[in-house]
Structures are given as structure tokens and as C-alpha cells.
Amino acid sequence: MSKQPAPLSVQRWTPLSVAATLAIAGLMIALAFTPLFASAEVIDRLTTLFIYIILAIMWNALAGYGGLVSVGQQAFFGLGAYAAIRLSYWGVPVYPALILGALLAGAVALPLSVFALRLKGGEFAIGMWVVAELAHLLVNLDGLIQGETGTSLIALNAFSPDHRRADNYWLALAAMAVAAAVVFALLRGRLGVSVQAIRDNEEAAASIGVRVLGGKRVIFILSAIGCAMAGTLWLATSITFEPKTYFSVQWSAYMIFMALVGGLGTFEGPILGAILFFLMESLFGATGVWYLVGLGAAAVVFSLFLPQGLWGFIENRFTWRFLPIGYHLRLPEED
């Protein structure tokens, strides 16, 4: 086939993706300055958007790349918030408590992975839901929480509302940037192709040397930390902790919606999905039941007509790669 094989090159970044990444970096810098001039309402809404984006990225990393479809990620969302309250009660300064709480709740994923990752497919999905319900019950046993009445992160009251608002915003922005960067770097590296191989065929992955359990575990714990961080951020914005709100399965529904509508298994898709979800909520959230009906209808329309999600569609149509995870071998006929 090749007498004198010209060295073929493997393309990862394209001029378009470099431009897109620079634009995103520019946007992040602009966002960092937004609290200096934006209204309180805008700051609060953007903070919420950042939390949604974290959740969407984490669910996508878990299910879209790792093949681990979970309807129980609210377990970590709730445990993160709970851990932050506990740490703050024990005297840890409140903002460090938010970050430490997320890491602690994420650490729960390590022992949990020992049995959760033995479950396959639907069993894992439902098993995680059971885990979330159990976590909810256990948290309610803590006297500090006062059962379903819940409690508040009172330490935050030491800050004036304006300071708090801006600090929450910056923490959420930073958490989102770190979450996106870490997931992006991991998926672009060796772990990325390994977990996708596990997702597509576990036995074949093992047969070419992939440590299946280890790969799943990394992505499971990463996703747990991310969802827990989203939970502590949610706590920072709302201050109150009612267990049933945090451990509600609605969070899983939101994550699934954002990832599916945006494009499961693409890096950009779920971010787009989170923005879409956020816009729908901002526009129609006040309409209550009709909003939920609209969400459901949108999910059905997308799964029927755009099964690869909005970004999957765009990517195929225009072969755009903003934040490239994959590899492209440049063949001679392309030049």
C-alpha cells in the first residue's frame, strides 16, 4: 500500500477550535467582571446557569462518555450541601466549607463505587436512585438537619447580601471553569478513549488491555465531586437546606434533559443544553405545570427528530469542533 510512507499527521486542534477556545476564554474573562456592573437579578440568574452547566458537564462525562447512566446523581448534590453545613457548624470558614464539602461528598463515591459499579445498565441507573434515597434518609437522621424541616447555612449571613451574591457568582464561575477544564483535559487524554471504549463494549475494552473498573471509577468519582460542588453552590445561593429539595430526583431529570437535548457524548452539547434549559426556565418557569409539560414535550421532540442532540446535529452538519476531544488522521487525499 505504501512504498514510501509519508508521515501522516494526526489533527486534534483546528484553526476553528483554537478560535473558539480563545473566544470562550475571552467570554470567561468578561463574565468574571460582570458582577461589577450587572444587576443583582442578572448575577443571581447567571450563578444558577453556571450550576446547571456544571451538572450537565458532569452527567455527560458519566453517561455520555463513561456509559454510566445514573438517575441518582442528586445523592452527591445533596451530600455536598449537607457536608458543607456540617463543616460550617464545626467551625470551618464558610467558603472553604463549600469546597471541602464537595470534595468530602465526592470521596463517598470511592467506597460506593465498589458495589455500584458492579451493577450494569439499568440496574446501575436504578441502584443510584436507591443510593440517593438512602443518602436522603441518613442525612435526615442527623439532628442538626431537623428532618424535612431542614436548616440554613447561617454562617453566610455574616456577609452582606451584595457581597454574598458576588462571591457566590465568582465561586460558581470558577467551579464551572475548573469542572469544564478538568473534564476536557481528562477526556482528551488517554482516559478519554479508554472510557469511551468501556462505554461501547466492556468486554472488547478489557481484551485490548483497558482496566474497565478503574476507568469507570475515575469518571464516577469525578462526576460525584462535580455534582456535589453544584450542590454546595446551590446551598450558597439559597442558604436553606431542605433535604427533599436537594435529594430530589428532579435534578437527575434536569441533567438528563440538558445532556440529551444538547447532545450526549459531545463535549459542547450539554453546555448548550444547559443554556437552553436555563432559557426555557427563565421564560416559562413561572407558568408552573405548563413549563414542565413544555420540558417533556421538548425532550420528546428532540429524541424523535434530533436523537444526537442539538450539538450532535450541528457537528455532523457543519463538521464543527469547538472543543475537540477526538482524533482526526489527515489522509493524503485530503490535502
Partner 1 sequence: MVSDHGAAAGQPAPPLLAACGIAKRFNALVVLDGVDFTLGAGEAVGIVGPNGAGKTTLLNVLAGAFPPSAGQVRFRAADVTTADAARRCRLGIARSHQVPRPFGGMTVFENVLVAASTGGGFRGREAYDRVIDSLTLCGMLRLANRRAETLGLLDRKRLELARALGTDPVVLLLDEIGGGLTDAEAALLVETIGELRRRGIALVWIEHIVHILVQVIDRLVCMDAGRIIADGEPQAVMANAAVVDAYLGGGHR
Interface residues with partner 1 (CB under 8 A)? 1-2, 5, 8, 10, 190, 193-194, 196-197, 199-201, 203-212, 265, 326-329, 331, 333
Q: CB 206 → partner 1: shortest distance, Å?
A: 4
Q: CB 155 → partner 1: shortest distance, Å?
A: 45
| Residue 182 vs 206, nearer CB to partner 1 | 206
| Residue 91 vs 209, nearer CB to partner 1 | 209
Q: CB 237 → partner 1: shortest distance, Å?
A: 36
| Residue 286 vs 329, nearer CB to partner 1 | 329
Q: CB 265 → partner 1: shortest distance, Å?
A: 6
| Residue 160 vs 207, nearer CB to partner 1 | 207
C-alpha cell at 200: 461501547
**CA 223 – CA 124 distance, rounded (Å):** 15
| Residue 120 vs 190, nearer CB to partner 1 | 190
- Which is nearest to 279 in space by CA: 266, 269, 289, 291? 291
Q: CB 209 → partner 1: shortest distance, Å?
A: 3
Beta-strand relationship, 9-11 and 328-330: antiparallel
| Residue 226 vs 265, nearer CB to partner 1 | 265
| Residue 199 vs 217, nearer CB to partner 1 | 199
**CA 23 – CA 134 distance, rounded (Å):** 43
| Residue 67 vs 72, nearer CB to partner 1 | 67
92: phi then psi, degrees, rounded to nearest 5 = -70, 135
Query: How many CA atoms within 13 Å lie on the side-chain side of 278?
Result: 21
**CA 268 – CA 271 distance, rounded (Å):** 5
Q: CB 191 → partner 1: shortest distance, Å?
A: 10
**CA 211 – CA 280 distance, rounded (Å):** 41
| DSSP 8-state secondary structure symbol assigned to residue 189 | S
State the sign of the Cα–Cα–Cα–Cα dihedral 128, 130, 131, 135.
positive
Residue type, 253: A
Q: CB 183 → partner 1: shortest distance, Å?
A: 17
- Which is nearest to 64 in space by CA: 197, 168, 157, 199? 199
Q: CB 7 → partner 1: shortest distance, Å?
A: 8
H or E element, residue 197: helix 190-200
Cβ atoms of residues 327 and 12 within 8 Å: yes
